[in-house]
Chains A and B, each alone.
Chain A
Amino acid sequence: MKLKIKGISFSYKSEEILKNISFEIKKGEIVAVLGKNGAGKSTLLKTMAKMLKAKKGSVFCDSLDLFKLPRKEFVKKLSYVSQKQTSNDLNVFEMLMLGRRSYFNFRPTKEDFEEVQKVIDKLSLNHIKLKPTKELSGGELQKVAIARAIIQKSDIILLDEPTNNLDIKNQIEILKLLKSLKKTAVLVLHDVNLAIRFCDKLIFMRDGKILYEGDKSIITPELINDVYDIEVDICKYEENPVILPK
């Protein structure tokens, strides 16, 4: 399976936020989308997830045009985890059952309950499964959101800043979890060093366009300067480039 993003453009009012974005992802690859605030990273993910309507372009899974699928079929191919995880009165099990919403009509079936329980076991969420989500910590809430996306059983998961507002321990835990799932994923990240360590491919955006894409070997001080307008040094640690601000 190959995911192809072909010529996606998005405008808000008269401003063009995304300008003809195209790239490809191989099965099982984790791709990080990086760039300054306002570069269009979150808009790209929302447009790919059909939360925003693309002006042109589409997302293809092999030769299948995902944007042409009916809503319930589309969400079985592509799941989206937003930047802002809301906590509410639903408990964790109910929250996770939402991942099965496109699979059942009137009420969840035995199969739906089993699928949810499987993921609860896999991610060790049993101790919090009856807890209201408003009582969860930031890390737990993010884990539940990822679990919900897994339950959706889509081919691709899009995650908008999954490490947002988390301490370093939880950030690493979440990224390790994503890596262990062996699923195709696109995530918006701010920490370039974490992206280098955990992602297979890096996409750098600026002003609604892709400036650079490739694996960690493309990282140079010039690239960082082009993308973020800052001077950095790059050193190596266990074969990985590490960015040090000057």
Chain B
Amino acid sequence: MRDYLKYRRNKKILSIVFLLILIIVMLFFVFYKADEFVVYNIRLPRVLAAAVVGAMLGLSGAVMQGILKNRLASPFTLGISHGALFGVSVSLVLLGGAYMFLSAFLGGIFVIVLIFLFSLRIFSKETLILCGIAISAIFASFSMFLQYFANEVELSHIINWSFGDLSKATFESVKVCFLVLAVSMAYFYVKRWDFNALEIEESENLGVDVKKLSVISLFLATLLSTLSVSYFGIIGFIGLIAPHFARLIVGGSYENLFFLSAVLGAMLLSVSDFLARNVLYPVEIPVGIITSFLGGVVFLYLLLRKKNEA
């Protein structure tokens, strides 16, 4: 028993070490080549936004992977981000920018309900990602349809959103995102052993209310990812990569997995945003381009590894 407790304590310490590294990285990014005005008015909200949004996406990905029992699940690969982007497009083109979050959330929730129903009845967990790709394509076509009829200003807004960009971060948006992140993290922390139970066939016979857990968790995971899309656009792959790296570091138990997925998500997006600001300095590129590139490479690696394991 002692060796397991020691193993468990070591994993906890490891998670905290990563949190400390994140804080140091964030401080460096805030003060890197910036005067006092830039630090407090531009850099601080942006670095905080990168950390909070990265944590939201990392957590959201870990939850989706747990509920759908598919390690390739994430808001991006399941099509939720594209559902939310379609919602944003509807708001920008048809509603003059009003109800943006609500439209994004409705777009995302529609997709997750479809995915959940498909996962129960039609598709195996292996083919679920293909279903996500199909849904992404359908919603991308809806968004393009709206773009075709949009005026120049609306069009530039939609394209900006589809890139994913943290330059519009404000303290206000960070506050809202942080609040939703904190509430969701508290819920998932309480339910971490139920998520462990979901890993086996007999989870219901262990006393877990699987249906209730799935519905609440997917609702919160969708809320996390669509909120980030409605503020900052599509930031792909963080939700896929962060839980994967977290699993490599602390193992499969959700005791530390939710926390570390959020921390690594925050770290990945912070670093990506730093690169986006500095790679072609003084030209700034949208962070979504960096995360999509990195994520695409890791996604291919995961697919190849899965094939080799099979």
List the interface of chain A (C-beta within 8 A of B). Answer: 49-51, 71-72, 75, 78-82, 84-86, 88-91, 93-95, 97-99, 101-102, 104, 106-108, 113-114, 116-117, 129-130, 132, 152
Q: A88-B252, A101-B194 are in contact. Are A93 and B4 (CB under 8 A)?
A: yes
In B1-38, the 8 Å CB interface with A consists of: 1, 3-5, 7
Query: Are B252's CB and A81's CB within 8 A?
Result: no
Listed A/B pairs (9) with beta-carbon separation below 8 Å: A51-B205, A75-B207, A81-B202, A89-B251, A89-B252, A90-B251, A91-B252, A101-B197, A116-B1
Query: Are A82's CB and B252's CB within 8 A?
Result: no
Query: Are B204's CB and A51's CB within 8 A?
Result: yes
Q: Contact check: which of B1, B204, B252 meets A113 at CB < 8 Å?
A: B1
Q: Mark B183-223, 1 if CB is under 8 A from A, else 0.
A: 00000001001101101111011111100000000000000
User: Chain B residues with Cβ under 8 A from A85's Cβ?
Assistant: 200-201
Measured CB to CB, the nearest residue on chain A to B7 is A130
Query: Are A101's CB and B253's CB within 8 A?
Result: no
Q: Contact check: which of B1, B196, B201, B206 meets A75 at CB < 8 Å?
A: B206
Q: Contact check: which of A80, A102, A117 meets B1 at CB < 8 Å?
A: A117
Q: How far is the CB of B191 from chain A (nearest CB, A)?
A: 10
Query: Are B206's CB and A99's CB within 8 A?
Result: yes
- Per the bound structure, the CA–CA distance linking A95 and B208 in Å amounts to 15
B247 at the interface (CB under 8 A from A): yes
User: Chain B residues with Cβ under 8 A from A75's Cβ?
Assistant: 205-207
Query: Are B253's CB and A90's CB within 8 A?
Result: yes
Q: A79-B205, A101-B194 are in contact. Are A130 and B200 (CB under 8 A)?
A: no
Query: Are B200's CB and A98's CB within 8 A?
Result: yes
User: Chain A residues with Cβ under 8 A from B200's Cβ?
Assistant: 82, 85-86, 88, 95, 98
- Per the bound structure, the CA–CA distance linking A74 and B7 in Å amounts to 32
In B152-203, the 8 Å CB interface with A consists of: 190, 193-194, 196-197, 199-202
Measured CB to CB, the nearest residue on chain A to B191 is A106
Q: How far is the CB of B65 from chain A (nearest CB, A)?
A: 11
User: Chain B residues with Cβ under 8 A from A98's Cβ?
Assistant: 193, 196-197, 200, 206
Q: A75-B207, A101-B206, A132-B252 are in contact. Are A82 and B190 (CB under 8 A)?
A: no
Q: How far is the CB of B126 from chain A (nearest CB, A)?
A: 14
Measured CB to CB, the nearest residue on chain A to B205 is A80
User: Chain B residues with Cβ under 8 A from A97's Cβ?
Assistant: 193, 196
Q: Contact check: which of A49, A86, A94, A116 meets B205 at CB < 8 Å?
A: A49
User: Chain B residues with Cβ under 8 A from A113's Cβ?
Assistant: 1, 4-5
Q: How far is the CB of B173 from chain A (nearest CB, A)?
A: 32
- Per the bound structure, the CA–CA distance linking A126 and B174 in Å amounts to 48
Q: How many B residues have CB within 8 A of the partner chain?
A: 24
- Per the bound structure, the CA–CA distance linking A27 and B204 in Å amounts to 25
User: Chain B residues with Cβ under 8 A from A79's Cβ?
Assistant: 205
User: Chain B residues with Cβ under 8 A from A89's Cβ?
Assistant: 199, 247, 251-253
User: Chain B residues with Cβ under 8 A from A101's Cβ?
Assistant: 193-194, 197, 206-208
- Per the bound structure, the CA–CA distance linking A84 and B202 in Å amounts to 10
- Per the bound structure, the CA–CA distance linking A91 and B196 in Å amounts to 11
User: Chain B residues with Cβ under 8 A from A88's Cβ?
Assistant: 199-200, 252
Instruction: Given A82-B202, A101-B193, output 6 extra A-B contacts at Cβ < 8 Å.
Output: A90-B251, A91-B252, A98-B197, A101-B208, A117-B4, A152-B206
User: Chain B residues with Cβ under 8 A from A108's Cβ?
Assistant: 193
- Per the bound structure, the CA–CA distance linking A88 and B1 in Å amounts to 21
Q: Mark B244-264, 1 if CB is under 8 A from A, else 0.
A: 000100011100000000000
Q: How far is the CB of A82 from chain B (nearest CB, A)?
A: 4
- Per the bound structure, the CA–CA distance linking A68 and B17 in Å amounts to 48
- Per the bound structure, the CA–CA distance linking A13 and B202 in Å amounts to 23
Q: How far is the CB of A76 from chain B (nearest CB, A)?
A: 8
Q: Contact check: which of B5, B190, B252 meets A90 at CB < 8 Å?
A: B252
Q: Contact check: which of B3, B190, B206, B209 meets A106 at CB < 8 Å?
A: B190
Q: How far is the CB of B186 from chain A (nearest CB, A)?
A: 12
- Per the bound structure, the CA–CA distance linking A113 and B190 in Å amounts to 19
Measured CB to CB, the nearest residue on chain A to B247 is A89
Q: A86-B201, A113-B1 are in contact. Are A102 and B207 (CB under 8 A)?
A: yes
User: Chain B residues with Cβ under 8 A from A130's Cβ?
Assistant: 3-4, 7
- Per the bound structure, the CA–CA distance linking A130 and B4 in Å amounts to 7
Q: Mark B266-308, 1 if CB is under 8 A from A, else 0.
A: 0000000000000000000000000000000000000000000
- Per the bound structure, the CA–CA distance linking A124 and B281 in Å amounts to 61
User: Chain A residues with Cβ under 8 A from B1's Cβ?
Assistant: 113-114, 116-117
- Per the bound structure, the CA–CA distance linking A86 and B252 in Å amounts to 13
Q: Contact check: which of A72, A90, A114, A132 meets B207 at CB < 8 Å?
A: A72
